[in-house]
Structure 1
Amino acid sequence: MNSTLTLLDFIIIASGCIGYFISISLITSSFYKSHANNYLAISLFLLTTLTFLGWYEIDNIILQFLDNIMLEFLVAVTLFTYFLLQIKHKYLTKRWYKWLYVPFIASVILEVSVSIFDFVWGIYNPDLDALTYDIKDGFSFVFNVFLIIFSRYLIKRSSAISSEKRRWLLRLNLFMICIVICWFLSNIELYIYDSEFVTNIMWIMLSILSWWVLYYGIFKLQIIVQKDEIHQYLVSKNIHVAQTKKKINEATVSKIITELYKLMEEEELYKNPLLSRLDLANRLETNEGYLSQIVNQEIHKSIIQFVNEYRIEAAKNLLHDPVFNKYSIEAIGMEVGFKSKSAFYSAFKTSLGMSPGSYRKLQKTS
């Protein structure tokens, strides 16, 4: 049992350190710094602090004060703000938005007042203090539930974000819902069974959150942000990054192949990572089998080879352009239509005999 507790202690400490490190990095690093990430950093910092306060019940006046002021109120608002900033919602400009901080401010004022009564005048009622704590804890739970559910509703209705970003926000929101459920069950378990099994699960989930946010919320989401920036730049400049290497002679190819080239060049369908043979067949008003046959006969390639050629050509142009040097290889791969980093690297190396990174370095030195 002691070894189990030691292992859990190590997980909590390691995850807490990661949580604090991520929080500081999000605010100080120019690469990740943004208005939205500032609130994510604050939320993660507060959640990490709450994890330590809940896991290690240290008998310390300052730590007890931090526990009593209900940082949960502040977490609810900062996370809600993060979601609003990501979906660029108009609620951020509303006057009532600032009132969301009132529960936390009121909790701080109440705790300061209790401390003054206790230390200055020696007036302290443990039963009243316990009742006040339970009321604040219950209200903070309801407050968190409301803002988490409300933010999920707003995320689903938002049309101002990409599907990738929406998935990340909904996953983070779902993670917080699971934590809130554990919070609710832990209170029931404590009062009915005088046990803390579910409570321990909640603290472990909060610890895992740090690692999860590190990968999905920072690394993966930053790739998506970069991909969106590349796309917006290309759209604003009306740049088509992939073109056929030679002019099409419409007299020597069928109408379907001519239309296929137009779909690639004018609509840039190759940028859709979910593009399938059926999608192309439907757009060309034919069936999959006939489309594969005619592409093979007239272009001497499979459909995936044909589509990937456009993606590779687009990637080469982006990797060659100094404007996009600040963006990661994976972001460029996503922008040109590859579903994953491995698929991009494999197709690129098969086509050119070198990795995208090597190709970029070669262009810089040439």
Structure 2
Amino acid sequence: MNTILLGFAILASGSIGYFISISLVTTSFYKNRANNYLSLSIFLLASLTLLGWFDIEDTVLEFLNNPVLEYLFGVTLFTYFLIQIQHKYLKKSWYKWLYLPFIGSLIIETILYLDTIFNFYNSDFVDLQFHIMDNASFVYNVFLIFWGRKLVKGSHTISEDKKRWLLRLNLFVICIIICWLLSTIEFYVFNSEYATSFLWILLSFLLWWILYYGVFRLQLVVQKDEIHEYLVSKRTNSTQTKKKINETTVSKIISQLYEVMDEEELYKNPLLSRSDLANRLETSERYLSQIINQELNKSVTQFVNEYRIEAAKNLLHNPVFNKYSVEAIGMEAGFKSKSVFYSTFKTSEGLSPGAHRKLQKQS
């Protein structure tokens, strides 16, 4: 019963993997050169998961099983890393030679597969060739994955969010390679396959993780960065905020507070704290809270969130940003999570950000 449930889970994960890989190359917003290679890597990973778990012996699919796909997986994922960090290796003439092991294994496997029809070689020779190719693919993948990790860690051309995603993906693949090694040792030494079952579970979990973190969460970061870059290129001073200063400012500290919030957009930092504001204004946290409460009749958090709500509303009203998700707009405005953005916005405006955007489109 457990084996059947595990089989269904792996089948569902493989289907998710195929769905992600197809979506990355067919959806206009996701489609780019880097995601083309990520799509192929995920497709290969899903295929290896399904072919490894389900019995494909004595079928044409056996030809696609280890180690041909393994050689291609390592180099496509390595290429994805290079494109993301915009590495100079992509322009080197020797770079294409990294695909040579895949081409060689494809030729060798074709010849060995024909042996099942014409019986050219004895079975011991065929088994030996498969063992050599399988072990060589393991070494080759380890080399590419650790090389890719070193290049990503040393890169200064990408944001911290993107670097964190690449390093986490790389680490996950390293865990899979370790599990792959343990399953091989277990099979030949103990003649059991517990580690192998765990390997398929780990591969399945990776596909679900890529769906959430690598596709959904990372894409929000990409959208947020695009919104930010557009705003920087079109930046203008806010007359509304300046008017508020002239009408309500009493003390010097409040005037300075408005000034740094307008000019430096401190509210866009989701980790902005009362201590950060106090340090920036060269005052104490207690005095800052007291003066905001006395003169503006609100807390520091309410003051900062009002700026964030106003920034979010401006983005939601602008048709230029209609293609971007509400979550990405909330991130650009300075909210640290979707739930905080939705609850704060609804408390302030009486409706959700999505409903607010829809209402503006209709008006």
Mark yes or no: TM-score above 0.5.
Answer: yes
Match for residue 287 of structure 2? 290
Cα distance in 2, alignment partners of residues 139 and 288 from structure 1: 61
Q: Out of 343, 347, 351, which is 1:346 matched to? A: 343
TM-score, length-scaled by structure 1 = 0.93
Please state how far the C-alpha of 1:314 moved relative to its aligned partner.
0.6
Please state how far the C-alpha of 1:29 moved relative to its aligned partner.
1.8
Q: Out of 135, 140, 143, which is 1:138 matched to? A: 135
Q: Is the 8 A contact 1:234 1:240 kept in 2?
A: no
SS of corresponding position for 1:248? helix
Match for residue 193 of structure 1? 190
Indicate how the Cα distance of structure 1 residues 345 and 286 shifts in structure 2: closer, same or farther if over 3 A, else same: same
Cα distance in 1, alignment partners of residues 109 and 152 from structure 2: 35
Deviations 1:130-155 (A, max 9, x none): 22222222221122112222222222
* 2:147 corresponds to 1:161: no
Match for residue 44 of structure 2? 46
Please state how far the C-alpha of 1:350 moved relative to its aligned partner.
1.3
* 2:6 corresponds to 1:16: no
Cα distance in 1, alignment partners of residues 154 and 288 from structure 2: 37
Q: Is the 8 A contact 2:274 2:300 kept in 1?
A: yes
Match for residue 73 of structure 2? 75
Match for residue 303 of structure 2? 306
Please state how far the C-alpha of 1:341 moved relative to its aligned partner.
0.7
Indicate how the Cα distance of structure 1 residues 11 and 239 shifts in structure 2: closer, same or farther if over 3 A, else same: farther
Match for residue 358 of structure 2? 361
SS of corresponding position for 1:246? helix
Match for residue 25 of structure 1? 23
Identity rate, percent: 66
- What is the number of equivalent residue pairs in this alignment? 363
- Say what the alpha-carbon RMSD is for the aligned residues: 2.0
Cα distance in 2, alignment partners of residues 242 and 306 from structure 1: 18
* Structure 2 spans left out of the alignment, 5+ residues: none
Q: Is the 8 A contact 1:243 1:265 kept in 2?
A: no
Please state how far the C-alpha of 1:289 moved relative to its aligned partner.
1.9
Cα distance in 2, alignment partners of residues 311 and 270 from structure 1: 6
Deviations 1:198-245 (A, max 9, x none): 111011111122222111111112211111111111112224679526
* 2:95 corresponds to 1:97: yes
Match for residue 144 of structure 2? 147
SS of corresponding position for 1:244? helix
Cα distance in 1, alignment partners of residues 139 and 3 from structure 2: 31
Deviations 1:108-133 (A, max 9, x none): 1222233456645x321322222222
Please state how far the C-alpha of 1:247 moved relative to its aligned partner.
4.0
Q: Is the 8 A contact 1:241 1:313 kept in 2?
A: no
Match for residue 275 of structure 1? 272
Q: Is the 8 A contact 1:183 1:199 kept in 2?
A: yes
Cα distance in 2, alignment partners of residues 163 and 79 from structure 1: 20
Indicate how the Cα distance of structure 1 residues 241 and 321 shifts in structure 2: closer, same or farther if over 3 A, else same: farther
Q: Out of 5, 8, 26, which is 1:7 matched to? A: 5
**More moved, 226-235 vs 280-289:** 280-289
Cα distance in 1, alignment partners of residues 41 and 248 from structure 2: 62
In structure 1, give the amino acid aligned to 2:226.
Answer: E
Match for residue 203 of structure 1? 200
Q: Is the 8 A contact 2:176 2:202 kept in 1?
A: yes
Match for residue 64 of structure 1? 62
Indicate how the Cα distance of structure 1 residues 156 and 242 shifts in structure 2: closer, same or farther if over 3 A, else same: farther
Q: Is the 8 A contact 1:242 1:310 kept in 2?
A: no
Indicate how the Cα distance of structure 1 residues 123 and 240 shifts in structure 2: closer, same or farther if over 3 A, else same: farther
Please state how far the C-alpha of 1:194 moved relative to its aligned partner.
0.9
Indicate how the Cα distance of structure 1 residues 264 and 112 shifts in structure 2: closer, same or farther if over 3 A, else same: same
Deviations 1:258-298 (A, max 9, x none): 22212211111111111111111222222222222222222
* 2:309 corresponds to 1:322: no
Indicate how the Cα distance of structure 1 residues 241 and 216 shifts in structure 2: closer, same or farther if over 3 A, else same: farther
Cα distance in 2, alignment partners of residues 224 and 149 from structure 1: 26
In structure 1, give the amino acid aligned to 2:88.
Answer: K
Q: Is the 8 A contact 1:15 1:210 kept in 2?
A: yes
In structure 1, give the amino acid aligned to 2:121.
Answer: Y
* 2:240 corresponds to 1:235: no
Please state how far the C-alpha of 1:184 moved relative to its aligned partner.
1.0
Cα distance in 2, alignment partners of residues 314 and 68 from structure 1: 53
Q: Is the 8 A contact 2:74 2:144 kept in 1?
A: yes
* Structure 1 spans left out of the alignment, 5+ residues: none
Cα distance in 2, alignment partners of residues 14 and 138 from structure 1: 29
In structure 1, give the amino acid aligned to 2:13.
Answer: S
In structure 2, give the amino acid aligned to 1:190.
Answer: F
In structure 2, give the amino acid aligned to 1:81.
Answer: T
